[in-house]
Structure 1
Amino acid sequence: MTINIKLTVLFMVFSFSMLLSACSSHPEQATLVDIDTSNLLYDDAFPTHSNFSIETEKQIYALDDVMQKFVSSRLLHEEDPYKRARLLLKKLFHRSPEDLRYQNGANLTAQQAFHQNTANCLSLTILAYTLAKKANLKIEFQEVLIPEYWVRDGNYNLLTGHVNIKVVGNLKTTNTIVWGNKETVIDFDPYNVKKHFPKNLISKSRVTAMFYNNKGAQALVRSEYDLAYAYFKASIEQEPNFSPVWGNLGLLYKTVGLKGYGEQAYFASVNFNYKNYNAWNNLAILMSEQNRHEEAKQIYSFIHKARMKNPYYHALLGEEAYYNGDYKVAIEHYKKAKSMTDKEHEFYFGLAKSFYKLGNYKKSEFYLLKAKRYANFKDIEDKYQHKLNLLSRL
């Protein structure tokens, strides 16, 4: 199954029999049926969801005394906003001997990320925004338009996205300050290739919705369904047209047996983003489970064609093959991904672990060295070195 962790957000999609006409024989030309999303929140199915304490927006972006002291003592003495932005970037990544560590599932508030020294891209973006604002810097949120990218978590594939912030001026002046080509982007990305993709400006409200969606996704993976619903509902209330959360809500509904609601949520998801191929995919899964094989086949064909130019899709196929024990097939897919993007450490690691399973330790070591070479965070590099050390003992 595939979940969508957008900016480190979770997401899936289903279908509803009364809306079958929405899927023509050519999904790319389908006329989607409007969904009344106001009727798609089914509180009664999750009776304890209101018992959970969901972080408020204020709590997500709050600073404590230690953080305020960090800003006042290390940043505010610099009058030039461009230099202050660069100083923030430097201080943010070098606050301790360990530095910040990347952890995909670390969906944290600004305070938690600051003190735990761990973050995913969304959590660091929230932290950087909070500190930058306190440092009187004017900033913008950016969503990086990367191809679909998946990370496995148990029985789920998590579809991830990416965000960062751009410093554009000084809050203490009436005019935005632009430094020509000297823009400062604060980015926490363990995958360098993502930085070359186009970007869209997004609102703080959208980032908050992403935070709630991430938290809901994690709860869903842990089978904490009422908590997942509470977070998905919070995300929808924050940004009603955020496509990934509707897909995740659809998956939640399907998981608890509410397939009709699930399908409607999936259609809501693709209505808000027609190119949400993950939503289409999960819709096809639901149709297959309901023996609607021809409709599912048409959708599978549509999304497969759309994804063939995405190296991360080939890596996903490799990961699925590896997970199912088809190591030779996994190698074929990882090599295809590598041929399209040759500096992604995850592809080399996929090859290394597949060759290891086949008993070819020499090739496994070769690709582990490649993975280590392209890993651009010390903790990821250390992980590969540890595996190399173990491999050398065989």
Structure 2
Amino acid sequence: MKPLAALLLAALLAGCASAPPTPPAPSDMFSDATFGKPGDHVGAADLFTMTPAMRAYLASAAFHAEIRNKGAEQGLVDALYQKGELKIEYDSAKTRNAAETFEARAGNCLSLVIMTAAFANELGLKVNFQSVLVGDTWRRNGGLYLASNHVNLTLAARPSSTISVGPERSLTVDFLPSETAAALDTRPLDQNAIAAMYMNNRAIEAMVQDQLDNAYWWARAAVTQNPAFISAYNTLAVVYQRHGDWQMAERAYRTALQREPENVVVMRNLAPLLAQMGKTDESQQMLKRAASIEPYPPFHFFNQGMSAMARHDYKAAQALFAREVRRAPYYDEFHFWLGVASLRLGDTARAREHIALAVENSTTSDTRTLYSAKLEHLRAQLPH
């Protein structure tokens, strides 16, 4: 994979609120002829499609018992997510549509929202999607920095008449801890926004695997689906940049900034590209502007901590990793390296605490296994 480790992607559940109509993407935004045909079926037409297996589960005695005892909204949620027959698990490795999530019995936050909505639609419930204003959470994957926002949904019975007799009763379905989710503000999302987010995620996942043709078509589809979704322009620009199409990348970044001038993620991607293109002064000005909005970019203290680890300054590394943990208390990699630094300093209690938190907050089985293997390797190297 090409070494563009500093590229930032506001993705994986990045949300956008409902807004006035947005002009379509400029006609010169796309470069279809420079990419091969996609290996995937690109689109969101089947995003909420129910399969025969899903309908069979709806018709099962166990499902009907949940609905009968708890009502449609709570019964649906418990039937899907209680540790019973389905045992659907959280796994951030791949974004899936409703049918794929049901078949795999696993999905990331967006996938679980999509599958829950598909079942709710089949039951005739009213579904509302929401962007939860929890702030960006950053992670790394395949040489890319990924920013994740959060979505949830509410379920309610559809009114039986046009006469309102009181406030609508609804159930919020969220994959954050309930005490955390309840305290956060939300903004409404429409189904079009959810579809664009899904396609943007698929683009990023393809790019992580160095499948640039697939990534291009998914990003293109996301931009076309929802021209107001700035993250999709950023993703498209990163695809162009990795493909070596610098002018198209610059065009996509600048279009994103025209529509959202304070977007620091786009600024920090465009600035080094401008430097590579010989536009040094503009690049420096853009970096200064980004720094004035966000002085410490994602992974700032983490990268400093890794440098401290490389020179065996474990005390400094421990302090720097601790700063990142305070900024992102649920990110597994920060906890893991804080645990490693603590282990190097002989602070085994703190090491055990943070490595346990790394395992607890890890969103894939692969990373949990990796953390355990790294820990055993480090223990073997330590003097007895």
Q: Aligned residue for 1:143?
A: 131
User: What's the offset of the Cα at 1:193?
Assistant: 5.1
Q: Within the alignment, does 1:239 sit opposite 2:239 as a pair?
A: no
In structure 2, which of residues 236, 245, 258 is the aligned counterpart of residue 271 of structure 1?
258
Q: Does structure 2 retain, via aligned residues, the 8 Å contact 1:5–1:213? A: no
Matched, 1:212 2:199: yes
Partner SS, residue 7 of structure 1: coil
- Where does residue 42 of structure 1 map in the other structure? 31
Contact 2:321 2:337 in 1 (8 A): yes
Unaligned runs of 5+ in 2: 1-5, 16-22
Q: In the superposition, relative to structure 1, how do residues 37 and 78 fare at CA in structure 2: closer, same or farther (>3 Å)?
A: same
Query: Structure 1, residues 74-114: CA drift from partner, whole Å, max 9, x if none?
Result: 55677799832112221221264783322223211111111
What is the aligned counterpart of 2:45 among 58, 63, 68? 58
Choose which of 102, 119, 131 in structure 2 pairs with 1:131.
119
SS of the counterpart of 2:219? helix
Q: Distance in 1 between matches of 2:229 and 2:167?
A: 33
Matched, 1:165 2:153: yes
Secondary structure of the equivalent of 1:165?
Answer: strand
Between the aligned partners of 2:178 and 2:139, the Cα distance in structure 1 is: 13
SS in 2 for 1:166: strand
Kept in 2: contact 1:5–1:160 (CA 8 A): yes
The 1:240/1:116 distance shift into structure 2, 3 A limit, reads same
Deviation at 1:180, TM superposition (A): 5.4
Shift of 1:122: 0.8
SS across alignment from 1:59: coil
Letter in 1 for 2:153: I
Contact 2:91 2:107 survives alignment (8 Å): yes
How far apart, in 2, do the equivalents of 1:8 and 1:276 lie? 17
Secondary structure at the residue paired with 1:58? coil
User: 1:197 Cα shift?
Assistant: 3.4
**Closer, same or farther: CA 102–78 of 1 in aligned 2, 3 Å:** closer
In structure 2, the residue matched to 1:335 is 322
* Whole-angstrom distance in 1 between the partners of 2:31 and 2:133: 32
Structure number with the bigger relative contact order (C-alpha 8 A, sep ≥ 6) is 1
Q: Is the 8 A contact 1:263 1:283 kept in 2?
A: yes
| Rounded Cα–Cα distance in structure 2 between residues aligned with 1:318 and 1:176 | 56
User: Cα distance 1:287–1:328, how it changes in 2: closer, same or farther (>3 A)?
Assistant: farther
> Could you tell me how far 1:358 is from its partner in structure 2?
6.2
Describe the superposition over 1:101-131 as per-residue Cα deviations: whole angstroms up to 9, x where unpaired: 2222321111111121111111111101101
How does the TM-score come out when normalised to structure 1?
Answer: 0.77
Residue 353 of structure 2 is aligned to residue 348 of structure 1: no
Alignment counterpart, residue 12 of structure 2, candidates 4, 7, 10: 7
When the two structures are aligned, how many residues end up with a matched partner?
363
Q: Deviations over 1:224-257 (max 9, x none)?
A: 1111111112112211221111111111111222
TM-score (norm 2): 0.79
Amino acid in the other structure paired with 1:153: N
Change (3 A) 1:99 1:330: farther
Contact 1:338/1:344, CA 8 A, preserved across alignment: yes
Residue pairs, 1:84-95, within 5 angstroms? 84-94=72-82
1:184-222: per-residue Cα shift (whole Å, max 9, x none)?
111224898566432211111111111111111111122
Aligned mates of 2:181, 2:289 — CA distance in 1: 25
In structure 2, how many angstroms separate the alpha carbons of the residues matched to 1:213 and 1:70?
A: 30
Amino acid aligned to 2:142: G
Match of 1:57, SS state, is coil
- Shifted more, 271-280 versus 296-305: the winner is 296-305
Aligned equivalents of 1:237 and 1:220: distance in 2? 19
Contact 2:92-2:364 within 8 A present in 1 as well: no
> Is 1:302 the equivalent of 2:289?
yes
Please state how far the C-alpha of 1:368 moved relative to its aligned partner.
2.6
Structure 1 residues 217, 381: CA separation in 2 closer, same or farther (over 3 Å shift)? closer
Summarize the Cα distance change of 1:381–1:54 in structure 2 as closer, same or farther, 3 Å threshold: closer
Q: Is the 8 A contact 1:365 1:388 kept in 2?
A: no
Q: How does 1:98-113 map to 2 (within 5 A)?
A: 99-113=87-101
Q: 1:219-258 alignment to 2 at 5 Å?
A: 219-258=206-245
1:388 and 1:257 mapped to 2: Cα distance? Answer: 35
* Counterpart code for 2:339: A
- Tell me how far apart the structure 2 counterparts of residues 165 and 248 of structure 1 sit (CA, whole Å): 25
The DSSP-based 3-state class of the residue aligned with 1:63 is: coil
Q: Pick closer, same or farther for the CA change 1:5–1:388 going to 2, 3 Å.
A: same
Partners of 1:337 and 1:304 in 2: how far apart?
A: 18
Deviation at 1:181, TM superposition (A): 9.2
The root-mean-square deviation of aligned C-alpha atoms, in Å, is: 3.9
For 1:376 and 1:222, the matched residues in 2 are separated by 20
Tell me, in whole angstroms, the C-alpha distance in 2 between the residues paired with 1:4 and 1:380: 22
Aligned position for 2:3: none
Over 3 Å counting, the alpha-carbon distance change for 1:343 and 1:148 in structure 2 is closer
